[in-house]
Amino acid sequence: MNEIVELDSGRVRGLTYEKHRLFQGIPYAAPPVGELRWCSPQPVAPWPQVRDATEPGNPCPQLPQDFADIASLDEDCLFLNVTAPRTGGSKPVMVWLHGGGGANGEGAIFDAHRLAVAEDVVVVTPNSRLGIFGNFAYPGLAGGGGFGIEDQQAVLRWVQRNIGAFGGDPGNVTLFGESYGGLNVSAHLVAPGSAGLFHRAIVQSGFALLRSPAGAWAPGSPKMPAIWLSIVEFEGLAEHLVGQLGWVQPGKGSAIEQLRRIPVEQLINVSSVFSRPVFGGAVLPESPEQALPGGRFHRVPVLAGGTRDEARLFTALFWDAAGQPITPDGYDKLLADGFDAAADKVAERYPVDAHATPSLAWADVIGDAAWARSVWDLATALSAETTTYVYEFADRDAPPVVPFPPGFPPGAHHSAEVAYQFDLGNPAPLTEAQRQLAATINRYWANFARSGDPNGPDLPGWQTFSAADPHVQSLHPEQITGTDFAAEHRLDFWNALA
């Protein structure tokens, strides 16, 4: 059955199910093509007839990856999807920013009907420009490095104008996201243009304060003292890359005009180089690495956390699945390259023979040294200024979101919790206990969206995080309780090395 809803740009026809309504492929901004490539999002042209909203819009341009098997060459991709219960009332709104490494992913693959129906919330899952299309910076290009963030701001403004038509409350909007989406949520906490567009934030495995040693992400990945780069650095990188590729020629117009004529098929091959927003421009004037610990962020309640075994996903995909599992000698070299004079101390705390394989040993090192410290540092920074709740997804039997190599236990790997929140195509093969955990996670998240507090009847109590009482809620099918996160991840050891 179909339902028609009136928006400020025209009418849309979506799908009606027994308990929820689904509208897909709604344009929230003009297609960023031609002269609008690398421009701030522009208003969408109104449509006079009823527009079909029963199918997703185009994903933003991307090449398929093992972790995100989506391909697209179409820049006309600024669409969003709305899942809403059929019940009446003014409901909390939850806007989901997807992960995917910064150059991959789309909103439509996250089926939010379980969350919407069980928790009586309206869920919006948008696309925004990715990679070179969303984060490109170049001398003379206005707004460089922040087009994807601006797209998401346009989504939030669309919500303010239109979400009431779906039963949502524009005065109660929660911005939540995982991985790259979580990184973007952190950017919105700092971005001046995002002020007042959302009222609560959930950061899932967002790595705004991540400090990663060499080799943390993949073989040969460099040391990254911070995840954020400045617009000056990105402009220099872009100039070098454009020069190598010969995309700008004398006498053929301005550099920006020439770059806007480069076919998508060529741009997309280097899209992953520009896989995160940059600071130093109008969109994100200050690095979140400095702004968040400095207390310079929007004062909204925040729920933040990660997974117990974040780094196993990357080690499995980029070492073992790539045919180059880490050997004992390789482990020693990674420690030497990553930790210099402290390598022997790290080896003593993380002995290779205490793990089933050297790859798992390295995943444990990186999971603690980079990911767990990032969660802790973010929680500490936020809790000094605003109400903060912190969690760890701890189900080490969670179904893997991508195929893992034989013999490599996925554990509670990076992004494992997402299949508990959403259906990603087919529902995940969860046990009854895991389904109960999934329902509990969605209830916590929706309670937080309603009031800024995840607690509710029939739920294990969840305390706020503070420096004096750093409570971290462990989310596990058998038990939901506080955990000694700092001891679990040896944070005293890592902070002493810093």
CA distance 293 to 448: 23
Quick one: tokens of 262? 């480069």
Quick one: tokens of 83? 């899942």
CA distance 69 to 66: 6
Which pairing describes strands 79-85 and 122-126: parallel, antiparallel, or unpaired?
antiparallel
Angle (CA) 333-493-411 rounded to 5° is 70
**Residue 26: which H helix or E strand, with range?**
strand 20-27
CA distance 318 to 359: 11
Count the Cβ atoms, other than its own, within 10 Å of residue 169. 18
H helical segments located in 88-213: 113-119, 131-135, 147-162, 180-190
**CB burial readout 286-316, b (16+ within 10 A) else e:** bbbbebbbeeebbebbbbbbbbbbbbbbbbb
CA distance 328 to 345: 16
Quick one: tokens of 70? 């989506």
Residue that has been written with the tokens 């344009």 in this structure: 27
Nearest CA to 417 out of 123, 204, 104 is that of 204
| Annotated catalytic residue 179 | yes
Which pairing describes strands 472-475 and 51-52: parallel, antiparallel, or unpaired?
unpaired
Candidates 179, 194, 271, 359; catalytic one: 179
CA distance 179 to 203: 8
Straight-line distance from the first to the last Cα atom of the chain, in angstroms, rounded to the nearest whole number:
59
Give the three-class secondary structure for 465. strand
CA distance 23 to 5: 9
**Residue 70: which H helix or E strand, with range?**
none
Task: Give the residue numbers annotated as catalytic, written as ranges.
Answer: 179
